[in-house]
Structure 1
Amino acid sequence: MDKIIIQQQDFDLSTEIALVKKNDSDIGAVVSFVGFVRDLDDATIQKMTLEHYPGMTEKALKSIVNQAKKRWSIGNIALIHRVGDLNINDQIVLVITSSKHRQSAFESCEFIMDYLKTQAPFWKKEHTQNKSKWVEAKNSDKSQKNRWE
């Protein structure tokens, strides 16, 4: 059973992995990715605000997960993305994929993250002591996504 959720509260990696594995004796591999808020530009980022478009965002996340399931033989997936105000080192996103074999789990997890960065309608605003600015999409994220096409 897949778990796709957008929430403000934090998540626990161990709990989510246990849920992905629950009642599935075919799982031979679980791969997880956790993304964190970090200070990229030495601009002393104090926090990041993540916003989304309710309804549209969930639909986009489900589409990404469905694309991964069509490409790889994978089992359960957990995809949790946080919104709201987050501080440096806070967890932002969790992707967990499971499969019989590790390669499918690794590749599908990476695919989901690459598509999340470019296809999901989230907006990020960085806050420093002096200003706030919206974060633009990076060309490197687009290149990572394009390799799957």
Structure 2
Amino acid sequence: MTTKNEVESKIRTKVVVSERDFSIDSEYDFLSSNAPRTGAIVSFIGRVREFSEREDITGLHLEHYPGMTEASLNKIIELAHQRWDIQACSLHHRIGSLQVEDQIVYVGVSSAHRDEAFDACRFIMDYLKTEAPFWKKELTQDGDYWVDAREKDQQARARWQSSASDQS
């Protein structure tokens, strides 16, 4: 027999790592369908931009370790669910070669309340940038180069660690 607390503690999760683009409408439908307790849906969409530390980015190439990547993404979502009462999460990350203006990543979170949805979405994105096993090569007119997580990404992740110790 399932108790009310067990039902409320379950989270619907969708994790996709693919060369194919994602549909924002489909992701929204996943988060909002059959969800009468949902009062907020927050989403983040990352795109390839024409600059980074250099001004001449023509595209990106992303690689990953199949199986390990999906497990890592599911773990990040579970960490968010341990901190916030989120009801559903959709995470789609693209791999392969992408051009400027292409979509790279989608993170969507639903919750009863907006604060939890906003915080969980930002947390997932901050952890994804530093913890998920993706390798990113920036493509430029002068050649291609691999990039690591930036210091600002590490700082964003560290903020969540210090706020967790504040809650203890």
Smaller-chain TM-score range? over 0.9
Partner of 1:63: 75
Residue in structure 2 matching 1:11, options 7, 22, 26: 22
Alpha-carbon offset, residue 42 of structure 1: 4.7
Unpaired runs of 5+ in structure 1?
none
Greater relative contact order (Cα < 8 A, sep 6+): 1
Q: Cα RMSD over matched residues?
A: 0.9
Unpaired runs of 5+ in structure 2?
1-11, 162-168
TM-score with structure 2 length normalisation?
Answer: 0.86
Q: Deviations over 1:78-108 (max 9, x none)?
A: 0000000000010000000000000000000
Q: Percent identity?
A: 46
Q: What is the distance in 1 between the residues matched to 2:84 and 2:53?
A: 36
TM-score with structure 1 length normalisation?
Answer: 0.97
Partner of 1:115: 127
1:1-149 equivalences in 2 (<5 Å): 1-38=12-49, 39-149=51-161
Q: Report which of the two has the higher share of helix.
A: 2
Q: Deviations over 1:27-82 (max 9, x none)?
A: 00000000011122453211110000111111100100000111000101000000
Q: What is the distance in 2 between the residues matched to 1:42 and 1:14?
A: 33
Based on CA coordinates, which of the two structures has the bigger radius of gyration?
Answer: 2
